[in-house]
Structure 1
Amino acid sequence: MTDELSIALIADIIASKKMTKRAQIQDILVSILSDINQRFEADIESNLTITLGDEFQGIVGSIETAFLIIDLISLDFQLQTKKQWGEEVTLRWGIGLGRLSTPIKNRKISIGTDGPAYWYAREAIESVHQYDDYGQLNEKISTAHETDDFFNSVIRLQNVIRNDWTTSQKETAFIVLNTCGYDELTNQLIKSAMKAYLNQSISEQTVSKRLISTHIKQYTHSRRLLAEKIEERRRQLDH
């Protein structure tokens, strides 16, 4: 068993078996995961890998990276499926914080590694499946510690904000997160990113309205602070 606590992610497509375009949807997911694995190569310890047709898993280096990956994949997946078929496809996520019983032998594929980190992630995603707060909850963390309830109460509020976004607001949020992550942003930077993403000019006023309507500054600030608190817990449990 490894000494350090690892962060495992498990995700699956909600109601995938009812979908008529499963193959096409999985193709979109494969492409998104490939891009994320390349972009976060330095922060991903074991690549996000599809283990079943509608499920994938991986090991990441930090909680902030885990949150950002969840946000980027979730939004990109919803936007692409909406654009191609007129209906958003949503993911549910489980985050597990624990040790690994077996070492990571091949970081390119997250298969063959096991341990409490994955067990907790599985516990978390199954809990989301059983209780999704009327469709408002898409992710949960499990650390086998009493602080789980506090962490998950904040995640639930963050999910409510994210799930309340319209398609155009999701575009704005995706552009912000894709450009700045959880760092401080400027309107000029987002204006340039929006122009490139939407392939059209955007006024300063429109940028301001979009940022205000999404509450994206509050959202990213909350995600960053929560990640810091969970990392503090991770360091305490490491000793």
Structure 2
Amino acid sequence: MQKEKYYIVMADIIDSSDKAGESLMQHFKEMVASVNEELSEKIISPFTITLGDEFQGIVNSLQTAVEVIFLMDEILLEAEQAYKLRFVINFGVIDTPINRHQAYEMLGDGLTVARRTLGELKSAESDILVAGIDKRVQENLNMAFQLYRMIYDDWNSKDRPIARSFMKEPDYKKVAEAYSKDISTMWRRQKSLKIDEFNIARKLILNLST
């Protein structure tokens, strides 16, 4: 009998040893709790912090796994102390019963591969990797995620809250009003931050994940 596969999401904080501890970890915990609440209908085993700077969880689809990454990346744009996450999505086997309360006490090749891949990402070119699905879709998704993160990574600490504002409100005129800036300045900001290209990359990833 073929064993059932699940979409496993694992992530850790990039360069966590270089970050200040308490306030960052508090934000990290609150973000994980917030995502569990917002996507509760789509989460099979809630995201659980397993090591100090790492979490894992199981979701109902590849698209939900993508939504988790997008949502967390958006939340991180508003973090008082800037930090970033490294993500792995792996479609793999879990041998033990699924823990519906927290992502603990489960075993299987899917989890083993996800954890090993997360470790390998520390020396890779990309911070996000999808594994265990159709090879062609997987390759295209991983390239699209690289493009997505290239734009995201270009935003500095001053850019990040403005980029987040454009995600909430795409009209640069309204964003200009919120920041008490003139319209032409905010239009140029939208272009320099590559907001349109970023949104296209996200749509491409979502289309590939359905």
Shift of 1:44: 2.1
* CA distance in 1 between partners of 2:177 and 2:56 (Å): 31
* CA distance in 2 between partners of 1:170 and 1:69 (Å): 19
Structure 1 residue 129 and structure 2 residue 122: aligned?
Answer: yes
CA RMSD of aligned residues (A): 3.0
Shift of 1:160: 1.1
Structure 1 residue 227 and structure 2 residue 210: aligned?
Answer: no
Deviations 1:31-67 (A, max 9, x none): 1111121122222222211011111111223333323
Structure 1 residue 109 and structure 2 residue 102: aligned?
Answer: yes
Distance 1:103 1:159, change over 3 A: same
Structure 1 residue 142 and structure 2 residue 131: aligned?
Answer: yes
| AA of the residue aligned to 2:155 | W
* CA distance in 1 between partners of 2:177 and 2:53 (Å): 31
Shift of 1:161: 1.1
Contact 2:144–2:204 (8 Å) recurs in 1: no
1:90 to 64, 84, 88: 84
Shift of 1:95: 1.2
Shift of 1:90: 2.3
Distance 1:176 1:127, change over 3 A: farther
Match of 2:65 in 1: 66
Match of 1:191 in 2: 174
> Which SS does the other structure have where 1:80 is aligned?
coil
| AA of the residue aligned to 2:89 | I
Match of 1:167 in 2: 157
Distance 1:176 1:95, change over 3 A: farther
Distance 1:209 1:121, change over 3 A: farther
Match of 2:30 in 1: 31
Distance 1:193 1:73, change over 3 A: farther
| AA of the residue aligned to 1:227 | L
Shift of 1:30: 0.6
> Which SS does the other structure have where 2:96 is aligned?
coil
2:194 to 193, 215, 235: 215
Contact 2:45–2:98 (8 Å) recurs in 1: yes
Distance 1:217 1:117, change over 3 A: farther
* CA distance in 2 between partners of 1:2 and 1:38 (Å): 32
Contact 1:121–1:141 (8 Å) recurs in 2: no
Which segments of 5 or more consecutive residues in structure 2 lack a partner in the other structure? none
Distance 1:168 1:2, change over 3 A: farther
Shift of 1:187: 1.0
* CA distance in 2 between partners of 1:138 and 1:104 (Å): 27
Which segments of 5 or more consecutive residues in structure 1 lack a partner in the other structure? 83-87, 180-184, 232-239
Identical positions, percent = 25
Q: TM-score, normalising length from structure 2?
A: 0.81
Match of 2:17 in 1: 17
Distance 1:138 1:81, change over 3 A: farther
Deviations 1:146-196 (A, max 9, x none): 33333322222221111111233322333344x3xxxxx7417x837983x
Shift of 1:207: 4.4
Moved more, 69-78 or 50-59: 69-78
> Which SS does the other structure have where 2:129 is aligned?
strand
